[in-house]
Amino acid sequence: MFNESLARRAFLGRTSQGLGAYALASMLEQSVAQSATPEKQVDRWPGAIRKLHVPQKAKRVIFLCMAGGSSHLETFDHKPKLAEMDGQPMPDSYTKGQPIAQLQGKQLKCMAPQHPFQKCGQSGIEMASIFPHLADVADEMCIIRSLKTEAINHDPAHTFMNTGTSISGRPSMGSWLLYGLGAEADNLPGFVVMTSVGGGQNQPIAARQWHSGFLQSRFQGVQFHSQGDPVLYVKNPPGISAEQQREAVNAVQQLNSIRNETVDDPEIATRISQYELAFRMQTSVPQLMDFSGESKETLESYGTKGADGTYASNCLLARRLAERGVRFIQLYHRGWDHHGGIKNASAGTAKLCDQGTAALIKDLKQRDMLKDTLIIWASEFGRTPMAQGSGRDHHIKGYSMWMAGGGVKGGMTYGATDELGYNAVEDVVSVHDMHATMLHLLGIDHERMTVRFQGRDFRLTDVHGKVQDRILA
């Protein structure tokens, strides 16, 4: 068990900062930098876990969040029986007393899968034809067809996926990972978030989805923008040179150090390192965003011409971040909310995500990085077998996700939903189980990484979670 004392004054001090300070407050990773003054050092954050609990298979995570709720029935879960029952009433045995979102109280009719499925790779695993590029890397993928969650609306479902609870204010999984392992990057945050849109309703994503909660602000995710200024409030104003900025940072560091000697507040030491990291990011971030060193073949493989804000571009940035030691990289594509027109919309959204994702897997493998990079593809929930006009409603009882790399068996499926794709019925995997398995692959026993807060020991998996051993390589 690991304890972290958070004083009331530290919490109040953190939450009372102005916008610019708050932006800088999220910019810290494992490598807590040397202070601006030679005589004052800030300890490098080594991670709370000094000795890994289990053998580590993955060093980093790239989490691909298909925000909006992608339909398993149009992507990774083939249901011929549902096709046979197209237009017929959904049997009451499935839906009676079950949580339903917008279809509550309405006539429930089966809706056939809207795309044909095909066997892919040497393994012959099935996925929808709207993923021609993912089909090429099917043997690297472990498709889990029995995921279930607890929150049926978007925002609490994202919160549950990210934090293990639908209650706001808890640390996100990326923050937990940074707390436990630290980061490897010296000039970049250890937890980076990027977003993209297209293909459906642009489902909003709140910044608290990557917040550090009751952990120190050093563990918070930083949102990068792939257009314009990559990180807000880092670039110097016009007329301010690097030397002048260095002097300003030095002065602020000295004042913060004096204050810290008086109150011994952990957030002040965090702030010292945050300003230092922000200063160093002025050089490292432009280099990160400069794609001129990437080959024409690489750009074409991802389907991007540069940092253009697309999901494909963000996938390439994810590889570049992984190369530079970023521990947790989270990409949100906000285009999978298909309450209507799901046939064309799912095909259109898949086209935006398919090539970049497959290229990321191939690129990491070619660089010998896939073996220690865990890729996770998941939505906050799935979609109903019942029609909502020409679309599908929110669904939590059974849907699909997949993992690749980082100690996961490739070319396999795990778990199953029933013949209509409503309930997960075989080798059921909860979000807590997914978190437990992710942490296990990173060398962490999810039951042993805890933080005491307000008199209780908290962990990412709460009192739940079971490692899914059968998907491990």
Tell me if 294 sits within 8 A of 45, measured CB to CB: no
Specify the pLDDT at position 287: 79
Domains, the chain, ordered by start: 52-228+305-471 (3.40.720.10)
Please tell me which residue, 103 or 16, carries the higher pLDDT value.
103
pLDDT band at 217 (very low <50, low <70, confident <90, very high): confident
Q: Which runs of consecutive H residues, i.e. helices, occur in 394-458?
A: 431-441
Average pLDDT on 92-108 reads 94
Q: What is the pTM of this model?
A: 0.85
Give, to the nearest 10 degrees, the angle between helix 311-323 and helix 342-366.
20
What is the identity of the amino acid at 18? Answer: G
What does the angle CA 342 – CA 163 – CA 30 come to, to the nearest 5 degrees?
A: 120
User: Distances in Å between the alpha carbon of 16 and those of 9, 52, 95, 131, 168?
Assistant: 10, 36, 47, 46, 19
* Predicted pLDDT of residue 78: 98
159-181: burial string, b at 16+ Cβ within 10 Å, e else: bbbbbbbbeeebbbbbbbbbbbb
For residue 126, give the amino acid letter.
E
What single-letter amino acid sits at 447?
E
* Alpha-helix residue ranges (DSSP H) falling in 264-341: 266-289, 296-302, 311-323
**The predicted structure's pLDDT at residue 183:** 84
Of residues 193 and 225, the one with the higher pLDDT is 193
- Helix (H) / strand (E) containing 144: strand 141-148
Please tell me the distance from the alpha carbon of residue 296 to that of residue 274, in angstroms, as a whole number. 36
pLDDT per position as a tens digit, 223-276: 987 666 666 545 556 666 666 555 555 666 666 566 666 666 665 555 555 555
Q: What is the pLDDT of residues 142-174, one digit of tens each?
A: 999 999 999 999 999 999 999 999 999 999 999
Residue 346 predicted with pLDDT over 80: yes
The C-alpha angle with vertex 317 and arms to 311 and 319, in degrees rounded to 5, equals 110
Q: Measure the CA–CA gap between 124 and 130, rounded to whole angstroms.
A: 16
The C-alpha torsion from 302 through 308 and 311 to 316, rounded to 10°, is: 40
Q: What is the pLDDT of residue 248?
A: 58
Query: pLDDT at residue 11 above 70?
Result: no
Residue 261: CB atoms within 10 Å: 10
Q: Among 23-37, 205-219, 345-359, which is the least confidently predicted range?
A: 23-37
pLDDT, tens digit, 9 for 90 and up, residues 327-337: 999 999 999 99
* pLDDT for residue 280 is more than 60: no
